Chains A and B, each alone.
Chain A
Amino acid sequence: MLRWLIGGGREPQGLAEKSPLQTIGEEQTQNPYTELLVLKAHHDIVRFLVQLDDYRFASAGDDGIVVVWNAQTGEKLLELNGHTQKITAIITLPSLEACEEKNQLILTASADRTVIISLNPEPSEIAMVTKGPCLAVLRRLDVWLSGGNDLCMWNRKLDLLCKTSHLSDTGKKSSLWLSVRFYSMNWISALIEIPKNCVVAAVGKELIIFRLVAPTEGSLGWDILEVKRLLDHQDNILSLVNVNDLSFVTGSHVGELIIWDILDWTVQACEHNFWDPSPQLDTQQEIKLCQKPNDVSIHHFTWDEENIFVAVGRGLYVYNLQMKRVIACQKTAHDSSVLHVAKLPNRQLISCSEDGSVRIWELREKQQLAAEPVPTGFFNMWGFGRVNKQASHPVKKQQENAILFSLELIGDLIGHSSSVEMFLYFEDHGLVTCSADHLIILWKNGERESGLRSLKLFQKLEENGDLYLAV
């Protein structure tokens, strides 16, 4: 006789330490992604995705290939081989508005060389320019920078404008090659542009601010001047972004989040007790969790006008810039490190992780009347310790004005079999994820796609003259 058991939803969590990971069943009504397309071209980890225009994106990874895709159809448009080693950075140099010919460049950096791919009118590759794993574009000056163990400045025509000497120990502008021991410490790992023709480079624990001097009447060439070194971080800086016109943010391996003033390079706010076991913390498990530095390293952040969304270890934190504190968090958003987060226009947050999943969160505002008291750290704050035991619900943070925010899991995308390195959101075409399983997956809104296909069908019918409209 037939009997069926409702076993709905919970899948065995393979990686399960007894994690209070929030899960969502198979019924995800708010998850719009009901269609996927697997794109195969790479044969090693795909690490980077970059959007080229409304419908194209490029992917790059450890196999040294750059592939250009059509985000609508999933069609492979181009495959570009130039690197012999892993690609470490990819950036686009948009075509100038003033420039008549549209000439979008893709710059890719790898340990071997930088390759510039010009996409319009036809793709071409320009061979080795320099060594350097890190790239930045200064739009205002229309130059780009490559950073490795030195910093080079280039223009669109690929002339080397200027070059710093090797960055070694503080203060010394020596031309000595770095010893292997310090190699990683002195390698520019991130590079962003800030106002006043300055760039910030993250080198190990330090932030170095360089000023680019444009040629003036007095001096002939470009010059790069080291302006300042900021030594507030205690560990390697992993992420560095411009948040808005006022500040930029850095995150380090041990979970320090520092918000800097973009103009005078001073610390506006610092949040470094993501990892600090708060005094109240007593359970062994949580200590264990927190003691792994990997669990609190800040891999990525994203921002909007009000908040910075920080991927800390396995968790997600929402830091409010005005209130200067964390307003919502999800301590274990994923089974393992969150690698990339992005904010969608509709208050949704997407995160991807080493556990191979992509999760969609929504930041919800809640009024809560009776809230438990909130401990305040010296900056405020919220540590791991405050997790309530039934942690299957998002941890709430009570504000003074009783507005609570929470991150609600509204859907997850399971497709990759290995760590999801990065994703890219297209307003019109859905989400593109890339992963260490060599795949790229295009997630689409099935309903919308179906409508589009239907439209296409009737267009084709009309073209063929087969369309008879009902009277």
Chain B
Amino acid sequence: MISAPDVVAFTKEDEYEEEPYNEPALPEEYSVPLFPFASQGANPWSKLSGAKFSRDFILISEFSEQVGPQPLLTIPNDTKVFGTFDLNYFSLRIMSVDYQASFVGHPPGSAYPKLNFVEDSKVVLGDSKEGAFAYVHHLTLYDLEARGFVRPFCMAYISADQHKIMQQFQELSAEFSKASECLKTGNRKAFAGELEKKLKDLDYTRTVLHMETEIQKKANDKGFYSSQAIEKANELASVEKSIIEHQDLLKQIRSYPRRKSKGSDLCSRETEYTQDRPSQAATTSDPEESADTDRYTCRPAYTPKLIKAKSTKCFDKKLKTLEELCDTDYFTQTLAQLSHIERMFRGDLCYLLTSQIDRALLKQQHVTNFLFEDFAEADDRAVVRQESAPAEPSQDRPPSRSLEKCPIPQVLISMGSYRSSVESVLIKMEQELGDEEYKEVEGTESGSFDPQDNLDCLDMDMKGSISSGESIEVLGTEKATSVLSKSDSLGSLTVPLSPQVVRSKAVSHRTISEDSIEVLSTCPSEALIPDDFKASYPSAINEEESYADDGKGAIHFQVGTSPPEPGEAEEGSVENTPLQTDASCCIGKETGGPQVPLSSPALTLSDEEGVVSTPPQRSRQKDQGFHVDFAMENSNLSSRDHSSEGFPAYELDPSHLLASQDDSKTSLDDYSDSTSCVSSVASTSSDRMPSSAHPTGPSSERHKKRAGQNALKFIRQYPFAHPAIYSLLSGRTLVVLGEEEAMVRKLVTALSIFVPNYGCCAKPVKHWVSSPLHISDFQKWKLIGLQRAVSPAGTGALHALSRYSRYTSVLDLDRKTLRCPLYRGTLVPRLADRRTHIRRGSTYYMHVQSVLAQLCAKAFLYTFCHHLHLPTRGREAEAAAASRQASFLQLSLGLVNEDVKVVQYLAELLRLHYTQEHPGAIQPTLRFDYVPSFLYKI
């Protein structure tokens, strides 16, 4: 698998020298940027320091009006995850940086309380002391009983890896927005329901009061009002007022400006709920409103009760829980979404990045990727993420526009409060930053931003950084455009400056104060991020590099990787010598734990700009055993595995990563136990989630891991694994014959990783059959598990098998024999080396995928090379074309003997797939060769 971190990181240089031919540089879009932080001398798996929690988690906190900031729940909901991490403390931190200023109440000049439809704010925040970094998503929910009707909440994605938060900001923001949207939708619904109840109560109270007043009036004919009567009248008046207020609120909540765009990119599982939205979100038109009313009133009958007109703001009443605030359904949906987020961002940043690139690349390989990809699950993830990314720029505008159009006065933020927040922004910048650096920044940023603004902003930063006693560093804030127009006076900070420019400075240069929360960026609305900036977002962080050590001082491990980016190649070679010395001295300085061996070649930067100077507190500790383990496993990977033929979203289970640190010492013998242990960890951890969202995800990973492991076993156990695998790759059906179903199934599952797909449907693998096989089975299935039975039916099956022996290779598990054609190629030995050092199933799976990716690339070339298949000039003998093909396969693609047939078979599949109108409609023909079979025995 090309972009798997371990493959990238630990490839031996000398293998490149064995390349039979020089690969030309790949086009830009195919090149895979390597782990951008490699220059720090960290291996991608360096254990993150300081953090008291073992892995990333999501925290939901509330700013309770009674007790202040308090954590509500974590996802995963397991105390082991956050360990000794002080959730209360962190809640305080994250709740204290809420800039959305959710002011609700009586705005000046307004008679009634107004609801504000506040945009969520998204803040990146770091607590260097705790070693925790968080993406914080603030939102407010409405609660009739709360002060100002609002309850501030926040959801935080907490990770020990700051870069992860920064790099994945876009994705985090998108995903959390979905969750927040879900919560808020449920909340609006619940709030409206609550208001209706309250209105009924009030109405009832009014009636009762009215009656009482009347009675009193009648009783009291003396013509003067008793104090009692006056009291009643006052009460009645306040009830009336309260009714009007509440009606107004109800109207407001119903006229909630709909975020049309958001609705569309919600996950499918939310669609049932989005059904509600069109009516709910409605404009003020009457019919819709009546529909609304209907919808809200058709709740179960509610018996009104007598209430006091003035609600008592007291502290003894119990506040509603989050679940009560939102509808239960919506709440569970949100939890599902959150656990989806947790799973989505689980694991190392490097891994996340590469798998993202991986998926993006894989999408481009639509011609060949069906062959060996596991689509069931690749789509599952990729679609969700991929769709959201490009779709955003166009979708984000509407909400703000609709906000502007909203008839309700937009008093989102008062000047005062906003100013105060600005004033509290204190940025510690190191003064020694030269002008050149600024210019560099401008240079890189000028595409999207006005340099002047940047400069202003930076100036401001510098001024601000003079006094740095304050504990909170806000490095950038952005406000909704509607606000911006009013707050020009606020100067540079309100300019939608590039968050990452500032942020990156903060990353590199902030000094660590004892007690600090660093807000690295806030941007309340994605809408504010210019489109082109967004596009560059993931890579933008790389620009920090220019600060590092005078630009050139960036730490480089300049080692030949497979195709370096064209532009970078020369640069690298120029800078090669100075850089290496730099690197070594850097390493020398930073040694705290075991070093990354310099000889380990693949710690390479494909991208000069990818260097980020290290935050000082970042630990250099590495788990040596773990590291070595991976190095070993991948030492025999072919260098060409980096070929950009995207291969697949193999997701390393983070629990595997964690577990493997512990397991690294386990011997080969008890390896299988450790895998099962790992997988059980994975399963339990996934089971804990309220997961309905992606049940296939973890299981298919586990499946891959097992398959890889069993395939490894097979290769080790059977010396004739090569011809068997060759059979599979060349489209000759392999029948696994055995008495024991479990064994057969296991092996079939293991070997299925070598079976090329016909199309995007399931692999042509039949795990277990007990009836005699027919010719059509061989057309349909390429790998079959067959029961060996003593019954007459069993002998029938065997007879059929011998009859069709020319179409099949037969692997007899009981007798440990294999009957299949001879194989003398070089491809399969690379794919399935008996003496491989790979020990883990997942690693082996990735290895297989990478070799197969390469194979697919060859098949692609062979299939689509025009001159090979069409006569070049007029009428040419078929023999000439055939010899051209043969020489291409042999000389250009370096295939020998039977390898040719593998590529030819894959080429056939590619042709079929490309030419067929309806994918999956036509079954491929059964192709076979008249070649003698041989019987292999152990």
B934: which of A5, A25, A414 is its contact (CB, 8 Å)?
A: A5
User: Can you report 5 A-B residue pairs in the complex whose CB atoms are below 8 A from each other?
Assistant: A2-B720, A9-B932, A11-B802, A37-B923, A453-B912
List A residues 1-17 near B (Cβ within 8 Å): 1-9, 11-12, 14
Complex CA distance for A444 and B928, rounded to whole angstroms: 11
Are the CB atoms of B803 and A25 closer together than 8 Å? Answer: no
Q: What separation, in Å, do the CA atoms of A422 and B426 have in the docked complex? A: 91
Q: Judge if A120 is at the interface, Cβ distance under 8 Å.
A: no
Chain A positions within 8 Å of B926 at CB level: 35-38
Establish whether residues A415 and B775, one from each chain, have CB atoms under 8 Å apart when the complex forms.
yes
- Which listed residue (A2, A26, A31, A442) contacts B933, Cβ 8 A? A26
Specify which chain B residues have a CB less than 8 angstroms from the CB of A26 in the assembled complex. Answer: 805-806, 930-933
- A463 and B85 CA atoms in complex are apart in Å by 62
Cβ contact within 8 Å between A7 and B819: yes
Stretch touching chain B among A195-203, A305-313, A454-462? A454-462
Distance (whole angstroms) from the CB of B709 to the closest CB of chain A: 23
Q: Is the CB of B803 within 8 A of A4?
A: no
Q: How far is the CA of A7 from the CA of B817 in the complex (A)?
A: 12
Is residue B927 contacting chain A, with contact meaning CB distance below 8 A? yes
The 6 closest A-B pairs by CB, nearest first: A8-B932, A28-B930, A2-B719, A454-B869, A38-B776, A7-B935
Closest to B719 in A: A2
Contact B932 A27 (CB under 8 A): yes
Could you tell me the distance between the alpha carbons of A27 and B929 in the complex, rounded to whole angstroms? 8
Report A65-97 CB contacts with B as 1/0, cut-off 8 Å: 000000001100000000000000000000000
Structural contact, B915 and A4, CB atoms closer than 8 A: no
Q: Are A12 and B915 also in contact (CB < 8 A) when A26-B933, A27-B932, A455-B870 are? A: no
- Is B299 among interface residues, defined by CB-CB distance under 8 A? no
Q: Are A454 and B803 in contact (CB under 8 A)?
A: no
A449 is an interface residue with CB less than 8 A from chain B: yes
Q: How many residues of B contact A (CB 8 A)?
A: 44
Using a CB-CB cutoff of 8 Å, which residues 413-449 of chain A contact chain B? 414-417, 437, 439, 441-442, 444, 446, 449
A469 at the interface (CB under 8 A from B): yes
Known: A14-B803, A414-B803, A453-B915. A3 touches B927 (CB 8 A): no
Total A-B pairs, Cβ < 8 A: 129
Q: Are A450 and B908 in contact (CB under 8 A)?
A: yes
A470 interface hit (Cβ, 8 Å)? yes
Residues of B within 8 A of A74 (CB): 925
- What residue of chain B has the Cβ atom nearest to residue A417's Cβ? B774
Contact A37 B803, beta carbon cutoff 8 Å: no
Tell me if B911 is interfacial: C-beta within 8 Å of chain A.
Answer: yes
- Chain A: CB-nearest residue to B936: A4
Knowing A3-B937, A456-B911, the reply to whether A449 touches B925 (Cβ < 8 A) is: yes
Q: Given A5-B937, A6-B934, A8-B932, are A456 and B915 neighbors across the interface (CB < 8 Å)?
A: yes
Please, what's the 1-or-0 string for B695-724, where 1 marks a CB less than 8 Å from any CB in chain A? 000000000000000000000000110000
Looking at A11, A446, A454, A467, which has the most chain B CB atoms within 10 Å of its CB?
A454
Task: Assess whether A132 is interfacial by the CB under 8 Å rule.
Answer: no
Max count, chain A CB within 10 A of own CB: residue among B779, B802, B915, B931: B915
Contact B719 A1, beta carbon cutoff 8 Å: yes
Residue from B776, B802, B928 having most chain A Cβ neighbours under 10 A:
B776
Residue of B nearest to A357 (CB): B803
A411 on the B face (CB < 8 A): yes
Docked pose: A461 CA to B911 CA in angstroms: 11
Known contacts A35-B926, A416-B775, A455-B870: A460-B914 contact under CB 8 Å: yes
Does B799 make an interface contact (CB < 8 A)?
yes
CA distance A14 to B936 in the complex (A): 23
* Cα–Cα distance between A411 and B799 once the two chains are bound (Å): 21
Partner among A4, A446, A449, A451 whose Cβ is within 8 Å of the Cβ of B937: A4
Residue A40 at the chain B interface, CB threshold 8 Å: yes
Q: Are B775 and A38 within 8 A (Cβ)?
A: yes
Say whether B863 faces chain A, with CB atoms less than 8 Å apart. Answer: yes
B870 pairs with A446, CB closer than 8 A = no
Q: Which residues of A lie under 8 Å from residue B927 when comparing CB positions?
A: 34-35, 446
Q: Do A29 and B930 form a contact, CB below 8 Å, given A4-B935, A415-B775, A456-B911?
A: yes
Q: How far is the CA of A437 from the CA of B772 in the complex (A)?
A: 13
Q: Which residues of B contact A470 (CB under 8 A)?
A: 866-867
Q: Known contacts A2-B936, A454-B911, A457-B915; is A31 also within 8 Å of B930 by CB?
A: yes
Q: Do B914 and A7 have beta carbons less than 8 Å apart?
A: no
Residues of A within 8 A of B931 (CB): 26-27
Tell me which residues across on chain A come within 8 A of B908, comparing CB atoms: 450, 453
Nearest Cβ in chain A — how far from B933, in angstroms? 6
B804 at the interface (CB under 8 A from A): yes
Residues of A near B657 (CB, < 8 A) are none
